Chain A
Amino acid sequence: MPDTTDHSGISHGSLKSNLIGLILSIILTVIPFAMVMRNTSSHAIIFIMVIVSAIIQIIVHLFYFLHINNLSEARWNLVTFLFTILIISIIIVGSIWIMYNLNINMIPSY
């Protein structure tokens, strides 16, 4: 997809890449909403589809709207973003794991 770079350093897509991003985003929004609202599949399948749609839509947003790719202009943006994801993972997984354990192990015995 054609990318142009101006002196502000972030590459900008063409109208076409933005439209592709929009259509993908709409699809990836409507699918999980429809699945949850209609409730026609099993709980596990809906759960997985919702999470997967969100992850893919995040990547679509990053690639088509924020133009985070591995080109030389955007590389440090990608690096700092990946580092942030690492910190976020530690915080979220750590919080949920620790609080869950505390919840289970700290049940008071009256």
Chain B
Amino acid sequence: MSTKNLAHSNVIANNSMHSEYIHKNIGVIKVFGFWIYLMSDCILFATLFATYAVLVNGIADGPSGKDIFDLQFVLTETLLLLFSSITYSIVMLGINNGYKNQVQIFLAFTFIFGLGFIAMEIFEFHSLLAKGYGPDRSAFLSSLFTLVVTHGIHVSAGLIWIIIMIIQVMRSGLNPINQTRLTCLSLFWHFLDLVWICVFTIVYLLGFM
């Protein structure tokens, strides 16, 4: 065969192989796509952190970080989120082994820990608002609320997603589509814990010093 024919038949072979490759690996491709989304979310949080860093000393006539942060409280919040990450790791191990009950139970545990985290955060911000220390009081408080609440909204969206996945697994079991979705949720959930490390370090710990 001439090289031209060879190249042509290669192209044909590659076309059908290509769609077959996509079909077989759609899970991998979707998870990588979700990872790219998470990277853009990282940049979003980075801009919020940059804004906070610029405005942290703009306390106007309001309180500074030292006045309003309760570190014991934040430590408890942090450990709740950390434990929720671990329970989700056990969900992933359950998927690997095909243990549907393990997946459901530990999805529920993850939800409970995450809900505890959000409840504590709502309590903290409600008490700030009640004292008149809302996001309208000073630049510092404005950037604080924006950063922390954005993280909280992400966690809340994750909680809704967990509920949906519990229902989906109940109805359809651990099929490949649910496995892909649970993998994406795993990336999402661990990423939120990662962002929280930055939040409690830069906002609460450094703000208290």
Contacts and interface: CB of A to CB of B under 8 A. Distances in A.
Contacts of A10: 31, 183, 186-187
Given A7-B28, A25-B82, A88 B96 contact: no
Contacts of A26: 79, 82
B197 A54 contact: yes
A16 to B, nearest CB: 11
B1 interface: no
Interface stretch (B115-123, B126-134, B156-164, B198-206): B198-206
Contacts of B72: 37
Interface residues of B, number: 51
B50 interface: yes
Given A9-B25, A54-B197, A57-B197, A91 B96 contact: no
Interface of B: 24-25, 27-28, 31-32, 35-36, 39, 42-43, 46-47, 49-51, 53-54, 71-72, 74-75, 78-79, 82, 85-86, 89-90, 92-93, 95-96, 176, 179-180, 183, 186-187, 190-191, 193-194, 197-198, 201-202, 205-206, 208-209
18 contacts: A4-B96, A7-B25, A10-B31, A10-B187, A14-B93, A22-B82, A29-B82, A36-B71, A36-B209, A43-B209, A54-B198, A61-B190, A84-B43, A88-B43, A91-B50, A92-B53, A95-B50, A100-B54
